[in-house]
Amino acid sequence: MKAKMIFALVLLVLLVLIGCTGCDSEIGAIDLSRNVEVITTALGWRAQEKYEWDNEELELLMFEKNGKDITAFLRNTEEQIGTATVSLEGTGPVLFCCEDVGDYEMRITATESSDPVLTLTSVQNSKKMYFSMNMNL
């Protein structure tokens, strides 16, 4: 009986560890969410999947720093489809604010072996969008 209980506990711990490998907070991840140079990279950020933004396909995010403000320009292949502001104020999550579509929490993470990934998480419904640093210039 004791052997079965120990086996069940070991199995449970193993399943928890395996399940956590897909979490957003990857072990060894570096949080770059407040690094202005990373946010405003001239390369921009390319969508990893097809995302809809205000009835348009969102393909690219470009950021520009103006004084202490950061503006995000949302683009598809042909034109700009929207803008948002990025708030780095306070110690809470970085906010990506768009009047037309709503607010998102913005997070940028990387590991020693992976390129940075920008994640937008909707404050309203927790829907996530993922972007990679654009290497296709």
Angle, CA of 119, 105 and 123, to the nearest 5°: 115
Sign of CA dihedral 71, 38, 117, 123: negative
> With contact defined as beta carbons under 8 Å apart, do 131 and 118 qualify?
yes
pLDDT at 16: 45
In this predicted structure, the answer to whether residue 3 has a pLDDT above a threshold of 90 is: no
In this predicted structure, the answer to whether residue 130 has a pLDDT above a threshold of 50 is: yes
Residue 67 CA to residue 44 CA, distance in Å, equals: 19
pLDDT (tens digit, 9 = 90+) per residue, 17-31?
444 434 445 567 899
> With contact defined as beta carbons under 8 Å apart, do 59 and 75 qualify?
yes
> With contact defined as beta carbons under 8 Å apart, do 120 and 128 qualify?
yes
pLDDT (tens digit, 9 = 90+) per residue, 56-94?
899 999 999 988 889 999 999 889 999 999 988 888 889
Residue 116 CA to residue 29 CA, distance in Å, equals: 10
Confidence of residue 9 (pLDDT cuts 50, 70, 90): low
